[in-house]
Chain A
Amino acid sequence: MKRAWTLVRRRMVSSIPVLLIVVVGTFLLLEMASGDAVDAYLVSLGGGDAGLAQSLRESYGLDRSALARLWLYVSALARLDLGVSVAFNRPILDIILERLPNTLWLMGSATVLAFTLGTLLGIVAGAKPGGAADRALSVGSLALYAIPSFWLGLVLSLVFAVQLRWFPTAGIETIASGKTGLARALDIARHLVLPVAALGMIYLALFLRMMRAGMAEVWRQDFVLAARAKGLARRRIVLRHVARNALLPLVTMLGLQAATMLGGSVVIESVFAIPGFGRLAYEAVAARDAPLLMGIIVVSAVLVIVVNLLVDLAYAWLDPRVGAGEASS
């Protein structure tokens, strides 16, 4: 337990400079992009005169220097105030909290799908490296990994939503249906099937290949030979000895994938019209809404840090050696 707390504390301290770098970096990148929030807004009006642009800039504080705006933002952030979105004209925290659950559902389900199915298939493939099942799965997963996720999303939607009509084409739930409780949960689940499949399939391939490669390596180790010599059942060797030892790197991968999956969800959320975090980020860039984009990135960074912390904790639990050295140093 003490080990875990030390880990948490160390991670919290080290995440502050990370967040600061993320905030300043994002701000500078947006500052370098040509055009500001007022430009983006006026085009949606079909133009406006110079006086209108000027008064809008003043009301958003865009007439101040970049440094002054950065300072204002960072000091507000230190008070946990994310500010007000220029494009949506609403508090950023509200917007983010509205969208975050959708993305978490999408990412969480896709991760579970990719991890469990990927690992299971990886075990099947790794049970007998070079066997028929291994060859088929390897080729299949390579093909899957090579497919861009948006294309997979479109094809899934075309086949299962437009042609077969098994699932809805888009959205997070049936619009204005008035459903509540279990009916609503089932409705959301039905809407999530295709996007989760599109997002999860790509990562599934990754986990499958990692598991298979790890197992292939473990097969060559001496203790496997010993287990065989003991006369253990093959099934037992595969599951208890080989697969278990190959599993550890996958947990690391899980943490790393959290960040990539956030990026991948931008595309999937657009294709399936899910009002999530990724799509919000895209909208924020298009509207040059600096405070909103920074809010999104800060929250994403926190999310990734938390996921990695959880992964570290899981690691510590799986492998007693992890964290022990750090705690005493």
Chain B
Amino acid sequence: MSSFQISRRGLLQGAASIALLSALPGAVHAQEAPQGGRLVVAADSEPRNLNPAIVASNAVFFISSKVIEPLAEAALDGEGALAPRLATSWEGAEDGLSVTFKLREGVTWHDGKPFTSADVAFSAMEVWKPLQNLGRIVFANLEGVDTPDDLTAVFRFSTPTPIQMIRNALPVVTSVLPKHLYEGTDIASNPANNAPVGTGPFKFAEHRPGEYYRLTRNDAYWGEGQPKLDEIIFRILPDRAAAASALEADEIQLAAFSQVPLVDLERISKVPGLKVVTEGYEALTYQLVVEINHRNKILADLKVRQAIAHAIDRDFVVATVFLGFAAPATGPVPQNAPEFYNPDVPEYAYDVDKANALLDEAGYPRGADGNRFQLRLLPAPFFSETRQFGDYLRQALADVGIDVTIVANDTPAHLKAVYADHDFDITVGSPVFRGDPAISTTILVQSGIADGVFFSNQGGYANAELDAIIAEAAETVDTEARTALYNDFQRIVAGDLPLINVAEWGFTTVASARVANVGNNPRWAVSNWADTGLLP
């Protein structure tokens, strides 16, 4: 198995050396794929709403990103690490009050109607801003969208809005819907939400519940010579072992999002005709985090939190829980967000003696049974890794005299306990970094968030200095100044430990060796697969 390095920079170097070898200057390792073929892909869930403009989640994008396109997609290079899709350029005004998008010419919807700026304006004002889970944050201050002509859309904001954030949000929050199918209907219950009509390289053909989704080639796609495939089928395989068997039997050709579990990778990477690909998840980084309930007086003491941070052997976690398919974390922003990542923060080396000393200092000596105090740990059930890390954490904290009881819940029960009832001492969470701290990360530590909001600061942590930085960055238009504020943000979070970042991980794809161009952009699994092909 090849060694795994979770960094965009590393990936870029790799791509560059391949480009040099093949003497194709500037080319990312794009393979020439033939036309035609049916790609069968494993899917483990059937989202009830396939509309990415309303539900911006990876499970929805996985299928619908091939049908409905955003204004721009994440890229390994290019301006702001973006590749143009429905927009060809974007420019923020100096005062941060408007952003102008130039749109692609000659694009048609799958039903033949032309795509225009009216579709973008409608999507932004009627769908992204009021209805979308992430758009509600990013476009909170969007006042209106002007459409001076069919190929220009000007977004107007009521307060200065950083172009950096808008840019980083483009791949995720800007899936454009056809106005002519949604206008004047109840958008949330429109039938097109389950049979999407878009501009993408593939058309939605059918959904057989419990069996598969079928997408077919869009012959009128704007990308030259694209798409390569005739058909993509997402086959519903809820059992992970079934996905691995189906790959080995060549009934499916691809399983993304680590649907083949890490423990099986070693074996399956040796099966002839299959390949394990770790690239293609750089912009989909998940973070393994110990979240803390600061209402607990013991945990409100910084020394105790520092002790917990020192008690965790991050390298061991990466090697054992993630079998090496992860990287140790230093702070709230992952290393493969090089635009923001600040390595210069307080670090907590694995040091049991220091942890013990800190706990003694904090005034919690070991009792007769060797324990200092007790904590209730609720590991999130979202991934087998979050549960396994929970088991590890219990042992690691036992070494420093903290007696941990694990409370295991299924997903709805876990969410209610942590985010609505605050009935926990520590939890193991897995937030996603969504390209910009303002979209995904500040909400984890900011104070004043209503009770019951999932994946937000529900631990009762409040830090006026941190809140001030978050508020300032939200309105700082200048990219450099804003980035500097987030450097401070990371330093403070790593120093005051409202939560403890342990590791960060992407996923793996297992594919037939015949599948070309797997993992060639940082959101590959949820991108449009226009250049994906099947070699004979």
Interface set of A (CB-CB < 8 Å, partner B): 33-37, 39-50, 52-53, 87-89, 95, 98-99, 154, 157-158, 161-162, 165, 168-172, 175-176, 270-273, 275-276, 279-280, 286, 288
Closest to B188 in A: A59
Cβ contacts under 8 Å, B214 to chain A: 175-176
- A158-B246 Cα distance, complex, nearest whole Å: 10
Contacts of A165 in B (CB 8 A): 249
The answer to whether A50 touches B450 (Cβ under 8 A) is yes
Complex Cα gap A99–B211 (Å) = 11
Q: Is the CB of B57 within 8 A of A44?
A: yes
Judging by beta carbons under 8 Å apart, are A176 and B212 in contact? yes
B471 CB within 8 Å of chain A: no
Complex Cα distance, B237 from A272, in Å, reads 8
Instruction: Please report the total number of B residues contacting A with Cβ < 8 Å.
Output: 54
Are A273's CB and B236's CB within 8 A? yes
- B194, B237, B412: the one within 8 Å of A39 (CB): B412
Among A34, A161, A270, A275, the residue within 8 A (CB) of B245 is A161
Q: B453 on the interface (CB 8 Å rule)?
A: yes
Q: Is B136 an interface residue (CB 8 A)?
A: yes
Measured in the bound complex, the distance between the Cα atoms of B414 and A168 in whole Å is: 37
- Give every chain A residue within 8 A of B382 (Cβ-Cβ): 43
Within 8 A of A (CB), among B447-468: 450-456
Q: Would you call B246 and A169 a contact (CB within 8 A)?
A: yes
> With an 8 A cutoff between CB atoms, is B314 at the interface?
no
**A–B pairs, 6, beta carbons within 8 Å:** A35-B416, A169-B251, A175-B233, A272-B239, A275-B209, A286-B410
Contact A273 B415, beta carbon cutoff 8 Å: no
| Contact call A48/B133, Cβ cutoff below 8 A | yes
CB nearest to B40 among chain A residues: A175
Does B107 touch A at the CB level, under 8 Å? no
Which residues of B sit under 8 angstroms from A98, Cβ to Cβ? 209-210
Contacting A52 at CB < 8 Å: which of B136, B246, B415?
B136
Given contacts A43-B411, A270-B238, contact A34 B416 (CB under 8 A): yes
Check B136 against A49 for contact (C-beta < 8 Å): yes
Which residue in B133, B242, B453 is a CB contact (below 8 Å) of A271?
A: B242
- Give complex CA distance A241, B450 in Å: 76
Q: What 6 A-B pairs come out closest when comparing CB atoms?
A: A275-B210, A35-B412, A34-B413, A47-B455, A47-B454, A35-B416
Task: Tell me how far the C-beta of A266 lies from the nearest C-beta in chain B, rounded to whole angstroms.
Answer: 11
Bound complex: CA A37 to CA B412 (Å): 8
Chain A residues with CB under 8 Å of B241's CB are 154, 271
Chain B residue contacts of A36, Cβ below 8 A: 412, 416
CB-CB under 8 A for A158 and B415, given A45-B55, A46-B133, A52-B133: no
- B416 near A175 (CB under 8 angstroms)? no
Residues of A within 8 A of B453 (CB): 47-50, 53
Using A39-B412, A176-B233 as known contacts, say yes or no to A45 and B133 having CB atoms under 8 A apart: yes
Across the interface, name the chain B residue whose C-beta is closest to A285.
B410
Question: Are A279 and B411 in contact, with the CB atoms below 8 A?
Answer: no
Q: Which residue of chain A has the shortest Cβ distance to B423 in the bound complex?
A: A34
Q: A99-B210, A169-B245 are in contact. List 16 more A-B contacts (CB 8 A).
A: A34-B417, A35-B411, A35-B415, A39-B412, A46-B455, A47-B453, A47-B455, A50-B450, A52-B133, A52-B136, A98-B210, A170-B237, A170-B239, A171-B235, A176-B231, A288-B412
Q: Which of B42-50, B78-86, B291-299 forms contacts with chain A?
A: B42-50
- For A37, the chain B residues whose CB sits under 8 A away are 412
Are the CB atoms of B57 and A273 closer together than 8 Å?
no
Does B235 lie within 8 Å of A95, measured CB to CB? no
| CB contact under 8 A between A169 and B450, given known A162-B248, A176-B212 | no
Nearest chain-B residue to A41 (Cβ)? B48
A175, B138: Cα distance in complex, Å: 40
On whether the beta carbons of B209 and A95 are closer than 8 Å, the reply is yes
Query: Which of B45, B208, B416, B417 makes the CB contact (< 8 A) with A44?
Result: B45
Given A88-B209, A175-B233, A273-B239, A53 contacting B411 (CB threshold 8 A): no
Nearest A-chain residue to B244, judged by Cβ:
A162
